[in-house]
Structure formats: structure tokens, C-alpha cells
A and B are shown apart, each in its own frame.
Chain A
């Protein structure tokens, strides 16, 4: 299936915090989706596949508002933040198999101005991220939210491999540096040093405030079709060379894994590289789902950019910054651009591969890698080329 499907359109709303988007979650998704459809040179009536983000969008509602009157493929990959990148693979399979011609992958939310997890869980414990296992076996002990879950892994990594806070800080600083080259980034114009990072308060030790992604309002979307159909469309297609997704085991419980660093990406990455016919050394830049800093480090290891345990030294010395050996999250990521449910990682990869990334363009970018991370460590990866 290599190179048989491609991304032909991207759309994004503005990203903001105060005073909030002033739009509904649905309207944000629609605005981003309409932008992606228009950018692709398509009409809404030609979109016959929609893959909404889990628990955020409904295909029926999106289609009815947009005017997608020929919808025939609607599916959601239930992998939390790993869903959009996992959807790229599913959308590619759908268009290649003829189940749909043009698939829309939209997302958007009021992550800043809408209800926060810490509010919803206190009024309804059943709404806790992680579901009934989290409610019955974590919440009574005060573990309520993702930064706490993942910091359990981060501490264990520090113990086994000597990973240091300064190395997590190098990730936060790199993302912030990239955001200075991205006018859409919420943290544009607000640089940050390693000293700033180290001085930020602990929230879920070893996670400090600046280890955690932004909470923002906004939406983004992409459109996928076949390479053949892409020839008639206005933009240079970005080809999906290979994609894969995977789950840790067990996926519904985070403490009882024999190997706690074996996440979904551990399974998915070798499959994606095999499908794409490339290796990590062929990748010009990487868009790594950065809900928290350590997840970037861990995913760099599990993708195979470095060996497990070597992620700490790997991220130091500017290697993951623009101009470095492997620029990571050239838009600033969830940490410094915005949290658009991981779709922003895809739209930025498309810009890089089209050569439209302006001041943050990676020179001669030919192949990029995008990951998603969700729930208790579900993983997805797509390898894209121009």
C-alpha cells in the first residue's frame, strides 16, 4: 500500500487560550474541516468518508453541517491521542480499497475554555480518563489524570537509565524554541530557557509545570485520498509511505505490564518502517506526540531513533532542534503550539513536506515521521514523504 494514498488538504482554526474560541466544539471542527476540504480543492459533497476523533466528533453531525451528502464510510479509532495518526492508516486503506474516495479526519475542542478533567471527574467519577479501572483502582489512591500515570513511567526510566530532569527540560525548551518560528503557536513570542523550566513548579513529580502540554481551544483537519485522485488536486500530495498502530499489554491498566516501556509504538514502529521500506536514519524530521516531555523521549526510543535508555542523552545538545540531526515538533508541538488532539502534528508534517514551513522549514525535507500517543500508551505512527 506504500505511496498509494496521500494527504491532499489541511485546515486549522486559530489556536488560543484566553478568552477562549467563542465557538462550540462542533463549530471548531467544522471550521477546520471546511478549510481542509477547500484547501484540497474539493467540495463537501465529494467527502464520502469521515473519521471523527473519539468522544469528540460524530460523523453524522459533521456530515450534516458540512453538506457531505454522499457519506459511506464513517469510523473512529479508539486510541485517544493516537487516533488521528492511526486514522491516517485506516483512511489510506479505505481509499485504496475503494470504500471511500476522500476521507476527512477532523478534530477540535475547547481544551482551554471548556470543562477540564479535574472538574468533570469530581462531579462524575465515571468520566475519569482510563474508565472503570482508573475509577476503581487508581482514583481511591489519588491518581486521577494522565500526568500522574505517565510520571510513574518517567520515574522508572530515571531509575533504570539515569534519565535526568534537565533532559526532559531539553525537550520542553526545544519545543518552545520552535514555537518562536511559528506565528500560530500560542507560545509564539514567549521564549523559555532551561532555567525557566527547572524553576517551574512540580505538578506530578518528576513532571513540572513545563513538562505538560498546553490546554488550548482550536481545531484541525486533514483530507486523504488516493495518489491517482491527488493528481487532479491543487497541492503537491504528501504520500503515506507506511502507517501502523498498536497497544501496550494490557492496554487498560498501566501498572501490571511486564515491561513497562513496551507501549503501542513499540509494536507499531517496526511495522511502519517495514511498510515504508525505510529506516530511522532516512527520516528528516519527526512530529512526536508530546502530551508530556517524557513521552517524547520514550517514543524516540521506541521508534528506534536511539536505543532504549539512551533517549536522555539523545535529546540534549540541540539534536532535536531545528538545524539539529533530527528536528522534532517543528511547530512547537502540544507543549508550545497548541493541543489540537494530535492533528497539528500531521498538518505541520504536510507543511514541511510541501516546503511551506517558512522560518522553520527543514532544508530538503523529503521524509517525515508522525506519531500519536493516547490513553495508557496506545501508539500510532505514519511515515510520510513529499
Chain B
């Protein structure tokens, strides 16, 4: 992981409740999602109870970090000033092996090289000493 950058200028999540836990795990280099203790269903974004079976019992289970590109858009005109220098960039939906999907970005791939189904694995981009963002890089199939 790269050094913590104190001048990270892009918007960060509000660290509160389950969202704080999610990003703090990312800061430790671990991609974890909620997994129901009763029916085993994975879920993202965090929820209080299992929408599949109604159980309140769950844990932060570690994802393999492997998945594939589900869809993306290419932003060529930033609608937030912090991203103005980043265009063109591609907010990308990754479908993890566990079945959950996550909005992220493939860091080692220009937008025009993205393909649906492209295999990727998680990498962490350090934003603050506590927080890292889960991003992805290409892996060979």
C-alpha cells in the first residue's frame, strides 16, 4: 500500500457505524462484507438484518477479493470538482465471487480497455491513515 497521503483531496465516506467498519477493514487491507450467520447470504451495502432470511446475526466475512467487471460508465465531464483532473475515468461495478457487487474502479486499465466479464482482484488505495478505498486490478483469466 502506498504511503498515507495527507492531502487526499477527493470526497471520503462518512465514517459511522457499519460504514466505518467496512472502510476500516479496507484500511487494514481486508475486503469484508456482511455475511448472514444463519443462511450464509453475503450482502453489500451494510444492512441491519438479513434481507434473505431475517436473521440479525451476521459477521464481517472476508471476501476473496476476486471478481469480474459487471458494468461501468466513463465520466468525461466531472460533476464534482475533486474529479475534474481525473477525467476520463470509469466508475465500475465489480461482481465479487461471493455474489455481492461493489461500485469501484479498475486502476490499471484505461476506460476504453474495460470489458464486461474481465477478471479483477482487489487492491487498496490509501486515502487517510485509517481509510483505504477498495479498487481493482486486472488478473489473467
Contacts and interface: CB of A to CB of B under 8 A. Distances in A.
A145 B77 CA distance: 11
Interface string A178-212: 00000000000000000000000111111100000
B64 to A, nearest CB: 18
Given A148-B91, A155-B71, A255-B93, A141 B19 contact: no
B101 interface: yes
Interface residues of A, number: 37
A75 interface: no
Given A142-B86, A155-B73, A159-B71, A137 B45 contact: yes
Interface stretch (A46-54, A118-126, A352-360): A118-126
A153 interface: yes
A132 B88 CA distance: 25
Contact of B73 (A118, A133, A143, A250): A143
A58 interface: no
Given A118-B80, A204-B76, A142 B105 contact: yes
Contacts of B19: 136-137
A139 B72 contact: no
A141 to B, nearest CB: 5
A260 B70 CA distance: 11
Interface in A116-168: 117-118, 121-122, 125, 132-133, 135-145, 148, 151-153, 155-156, 159
B103 to A, nearest CB: 5
B116 interface: yes
A125 B11 contact: yes
A152 B83 contact: no
B79 A145 contact: yes
A202 B111 CA distance: 13
Given A135-B14, A136-B14, A159-B116, A148 B101 contact: no
Given A139-B13, A148-B73, 8 more contacts: A118-B81, A135-B14, A140-B133, A141-B91, A148-B75, A151-B73, A205-B88, A255-B101
